[in-house]
């Protein structure tokens, strides 16, 4: 046995994150860890990686007592983790981020020539050969940052490799590259702990599966003996079946028109429209310009040319900031919830209400009763797991943090909602709750734009799917007129040509 944990317990203010959890890992094994948001998966992974100290319990690594005092201590012993919340430093280069804890130096000076050579080898492992090691990490997309973090783990020797939601912002192509590297590590005898809400990935990779619920271990069994319905039922504590959603018919009235939008090199003359009551998906590979396009719509990035027409009025000149976009009734749920979405030190209540204080105020003063009522409404609606509306958002799981952001913008009641990777890190049952919520918003006449790396997700909830390739919007498919193969061919088209 490579690793063993016994009776691990950990509490946060108002939350019992782990309660007497046992876990084992063999050499050359992929052991999946699954559960609902807030079940304790990431906490257990962080304990193993030395990031969090357990309050009780013991651990062994290769038969020896294992009690890391820090993540650095764990890495020194061969235990590495790629976390769900990215830890890339935007002001450092790609090379510096990958080798931050093991810089190649000579007499106290960094040997950049050797550093860049090793970085190119690491980037090649995850299909990012075209990115220069000297590129500032802040210029990368979320998906690219995720692959850089994975590269940092893959290129260094380790005995235990923990991956927490590694594919949440990756497309099928990047996922295939990652899975090849996981197979390579397995053959070297590395033990891999794999955390994901994507059941098809779990069945494809894992030898064993451990299920957590409310901080307790429910079951550990062979992946071959567990069907997806069995896994989900044990995760949520009730029977669960996938749902078919009837989409409302969109209006013929155009809510938004985008004409020849340009922000080189990522956005090249992009044009599309959005109708009232429509859910428009945007698909494409990492770096294809999806996020850059919607950031221009939200005023987060300035575009160089093109027109944005809202309700038959040209508002292009007005979209010079997110505040301006919000004033035009445009909201955006960012893919990077930690740095662009939440105020982690504030409470759940404050994070939900902050975008619409006017509706909760009288004579310039926020009415606490109104704010509490608002927070409780969206906590209940989105099934946010928290001890109370007063709990600091930093202590929530990643999936529950995502629900808090959704609650904020639904409360704002904008006409256009842009969702960038809306179910990133969210468990399967909660995903379907969010899909249902999206469809209900569309039924009320809202226009939704959904950017997602999960093609199946777009095919479930969208009326149309627009496909971007190398900065261009190359094709738009109507519902029931698309196939997965045709969408992927379109996504690759501008790279092949």
Q: Is the peptide bond before 474 cis (omega within 30 degrees of 0)?
A: no
Q: State how far the Cα of 8 lies from the Cα of 4, in Å rounded to an integer.
A: 11
Is 497's pLDDT higher than 70? no
Judge contact between 218 and 234, C-beta under 8 A: yes
pLDDT number for residue 118: 93
Q: What is the pLDDT of residues 240-250, one digit of tens each?
A: 665 668 899 99
Q: What is the pLDDT of residues 216-241, one digit of tens each?
A: 999 999 999 998 888 888 987 876 66
pLDDT number for residue 135: 96
Q: Check for a shared fold between 3-236 and 254-496.
A: yes
Q: What is the pLDDT of residues 22-57, one digit of tens each?
A: 999 999 999 999 998 888 999 999 999 999 999 999
Give the dihedral sign, CA 59/62/68/72: negative
Give the dihedral sign, CA 324/326/327/329: positive
Report, as an integer, the average pLDDT of 284-297.
91
Report, as an integer, the average pLDDT of 345-355.
92
Lowest mean pLDDT among 23-27, 105-109, 258-262, 455-459: 105-109
Name the helix (H) or strand (E) containing 211: strand 208-213
- In the numeric block, the tokens 């109370």 are attached to 388
Contacts of 239 (CB under 8 A, 6+ apart): 229, 233
Is 438's pLDDT higher than 80? yes
Report, as an integer, the average pLDDT of 68-75.
94
Report, as an integer, the average pLDDT of 58-76.
95
Judge contact between 279 and 461, C-beta under 8 A: yes
Name the helix (H) or strand (E) containing 183: helix 172-187
**Count of Cβ atoms closer than 10 Å to residue 478 Cβ:** 10
Comparing CA positions, the residue from 367, 348, 347 lying closest to residue 357 is 367
pLDDT number for residue 56: 96
pLDDT number for residue 473: 97
Higher pLDDT residue, 336 or 416?
416
DSSP symbol at 416? E
Report, as an integer, the average pLDDT of 341-369.
87
Secondary structure (H, E, C), 326-342 = HHCCEEEECCCHHHHCC
Is 445's pLDDT higher than 70? yes
What is 3-236's CATH superfamily? P-loop containing nucleotide triphosphate hydrolases (3.40.50.300)
Judge contact between 425 and 402, C-beta under 8 A: yes
Confidence of residue 315 (pLDDT cuts 50, 70, 90): confident
Domain boundaries, the chain: 3-236, 254-496
Comparing CA positions, the residue from 248, 251, 283, 257 lying closest to residue 171 is 283
Q: 392 is written with which tokens?
A: 């600091």
Q: What are the strands, taking DSSP E only, across 248-406? A: 254-263, 267-275, 279-284, 305-310, 313-314, 330-333, 361-362, 365-366
pLDDT number for residue 375: 93
Judge contact between 49 and 74, C-beta under 8 A: yes
Q: How far is CA 182 from CA 67, 153, 191, in A?
A: 26, 11, 10
* Bridge partner residues of 161 (DSSP): 80, 192
Higher pLDDT residue, 489 or 101?
489
Helix (H/G/I), strand (E/B), else coil: 354? helix
pLDDT number for residue 480: 86
Q: 256 is written with which tokens?
A: 């938004």
pLDDT number for residue 319: 86
Is 392's pLDDT higher than 80? yes
Q: 267 is written with which tokens?
A: 């956005």
pLDDT number for residue 14: 74
Question: Pairing mode, if any, of strands 208-213 and 30-34?
Answer: parallel
Report, as an integer, the average pLDDT of 100-125.
88
CATH class of 254-496: alpha beta
Contacts of 466 (CB under 8 A, 6+ apart): 272, 280, 281, 282, 283, 473, 475, 476, 477
Can you give the pTM of this predicted structure?
Answer: 0.71
Question: Pairing mode, if any, of strands 330-333 and 416-420?
Answer: parallel
pLDDT number for residue 366: 84
Q: What is the pLDDT of residues 181-205, one digit of tens each?
A: 899 899 999 999 999 988 889 999 9
pLDDT number for residue 240: 61
Is 213's pLDDT higher than 70? yes
Q: State how far the Cα of 209 lies from the Cα of 219, in Å rounded to an integer.
A: 8
Contacts of 171 (CB under 8 A, 6+ apart): 143, 284, 285, 286, 453, 455, 491
Q: State how far the Cα of 83 lies from the Cα of 182, in Å rounded to an integer.
A: 16
Q: State how far the Cα of 196 lies from the Cα of 440, in Å rounded to an integer.
A: 27
Is 256's pLDDT higher than 90? yes
């Amino acid at each position: 046995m490579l690793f063993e944990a016994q009776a691990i317990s950990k509490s946060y203010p108002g939350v019992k994150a782990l309660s007497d959890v046992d876990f084992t890992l063999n050499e050359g094994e992929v052991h999946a860890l699954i559960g609902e948001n807030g079940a304790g998966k990431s906490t257990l992974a962080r304990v193993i990686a030395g990031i969090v100290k357990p309050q009780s319990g013991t651990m062994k690594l290769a038969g020896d007592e294992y009690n890391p005092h820090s993540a650095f201590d764990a890495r020194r012993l061969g235990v590495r983790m790629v976390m769900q919340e990215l830890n890339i430093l935007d002001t450092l280069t790609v090379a510096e981020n990958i080798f931050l804890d093991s810089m190649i130096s000579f007499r106290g000076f960094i040997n950049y020539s050797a550093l860049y050579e090793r970085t190119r080898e690491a980037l090649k492992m995850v299909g990012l050969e075209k990115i220069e090691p000297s590129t500032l990490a802040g210029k990368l997309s979320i998906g690219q940052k995720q692959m850089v973090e994975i590269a940092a783990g893959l290129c260094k020797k380790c005995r235990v490799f923990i991956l927490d939601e590694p594919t949440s912002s990756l497309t099928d192509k990047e996922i295939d590259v990652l899975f090849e590297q996981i197979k390579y590590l397995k053959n070297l005898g590395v033990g891999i702990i794999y955390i994901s809400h994507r059941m098809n990935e779990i069945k494809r990779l894992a030898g064993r599966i451990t299920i957590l619920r409310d901080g307790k271990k429910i079951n550990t069994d062979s992946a071959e003996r567990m069907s997806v319905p069995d896994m989900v039922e044990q995760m949520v504590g009730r029977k669960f079946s996938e749902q078919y959603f009837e989409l409302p018919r969109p209006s013929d009235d155009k809510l938004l028109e985008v004409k020849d939008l340009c922000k080189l090199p990522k956005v090249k003359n992009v044009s599309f429209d959005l109708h009232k009551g429509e859910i428009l998906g945007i698909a494409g590979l990492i770096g294809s310009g999806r996020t850059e396009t919607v950031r221009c719509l939200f005023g987060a990035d300035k575009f160089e040319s093109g027109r944005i027409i809202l309700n038959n009025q040209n508002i292009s000149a007005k979209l010079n900031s997110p505040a301006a976009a919000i004033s035009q009734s445009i909201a955006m749920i960012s893919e990077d919830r930690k740095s662009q979405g939440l105020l982690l030190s504030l409470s759940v209540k404050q994070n939900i209400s902050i975008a619409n204080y006017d509706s909760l105020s009288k004579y310039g003063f926020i009415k606490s009763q109104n704010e509490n009522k608002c927070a409780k409404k969206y906590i209940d609606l989105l099934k946010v797991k928290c001890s109370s509306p007063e709990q600091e958002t930093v202590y929530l799981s990643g999936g529950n943090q995502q629900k808090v952001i959704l609650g904020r913008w639904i409360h704002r009641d904008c006409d256009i909602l842009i969702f960038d990777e809306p179910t990133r890190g969210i468990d399967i049952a909660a995903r379907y709750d969010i899909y249902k919520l999206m469809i209900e918003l569309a039924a009320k006449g809202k226009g939704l734009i959904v950017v997602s790396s999960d093609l199946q997700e777009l095919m479930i909830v969208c009326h149309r799917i627009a496909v971007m390739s190398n900065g261009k919007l190359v094709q738009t498919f109507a519902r029931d007129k698309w196939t997965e193969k045709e969408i992927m061919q379109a996504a690759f088209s501008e790279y092949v040509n």
